[in-house]
Amino acid sequence: MEGRLILNPSLGASLGGTLRGRGLAAIWAEGDILPGGRGTARVIPVEGIPCIVKREKRGGLGGKFLPDRFLLSAPFLRELELGLALSTVGLAPEPVAVEFSTRLPPWRVYTLSRAVIPGRTLAQMLSDGALDSVALAAAGGAVARLHREGVLHGDLNAGNILQGESGAVFFLDLRHSRRGAGEPPAGARRRNLSRLGRSLHKLSAVRRTPLPSEVFGPLAEGYGRGWGDAEGWLAGFVIAMSKGFPVRRHFW
């Protein structure tokens, strides 16, 4: 059964024919595996544009039963829309297309976006011993800007924050993120930033890579600068994150 391809309107005229003719599944099969991932993301030029094509997979309990099949299209359509909006303010790579493998669920889903080259995630930087205060402050500032846009990232972890040239920061995997009518309240923003802090602790434990001596201070300072105000809760965030979190939550 024929699938369904949805394009970024601004790129439809230039890339639509190629993408409809080949399909994202075929492009994914031809791409080079992106280092640092789980083999689901691949890099390939499309009409001369470096792109990342990804075969979407689910995690958690659902991933044990339907690892690469999905029953709902709304999260991917929302991700496309949100990615388009955030790419205009420099907070996400520009999305190109999303493809559902058939007309009816369950689908395999493929997504295509412009590649950020060169680029490394915070997770890769930690593993390489290259995660420093400058990178952390830039990441904190970008999270604050994301919150100013009214967005709480649904899976804010070290693998979903990508740093490009000149300290530019981009957010990946927006499928579970939502944009509200206004700026999120302080409590929701602290919980979102704490999610990133916990992911750094978890990654450090799982990969047996020590965190830099200064992590959460630069992250909080960057957030304060990005937000435009060093809010009181940031000091508590630094203290709480510096203590780590229970071992049982290493699988959070």
Burial (CB < 10 A; 0-12, 13-18, 19+), residue 100, is: buried
* Confidence at residue 188, expressed as pLDDT on a 0 to 100 scale: 97
Q: Which residue has the tokens 């060093």?
A: 230
Does the pLDDT at position 248 exceed 50?
A: no
* Confidence at residue 12, expressed as pLDDT on a 0 to 100 scale: 77
User: What CATH architecture does domain 4-114 belong to?
Assistant: 2-Layer Sandwich (3.30)
Tell me the pLDDT tens digit for each residue of 175-204. Answer: 999 999 999 999 999 999 999 999 999 999
Q: Which CATH number fits domain 120-251: 1.10.150.130, 3.40.50.920, 1.10.510.10, 1.10.10.60?
A: 1.10.510.10
Of 99-113, 201-215, 236-250, the poorest mean pLDDT is in: 236-250
User: Which residues are bridge partners to 179 per DSSP?
Assistant: 151
Structure pTM?
0.93
Q: Which band of pLDDT confidence, cut at 50, 70 and 90, is reported for residue 76?
A: very high
Contact 172/162 with Cβ under 8 angstroms? yes
> What residue spans define the domains of the chain?
4-114, 120-251
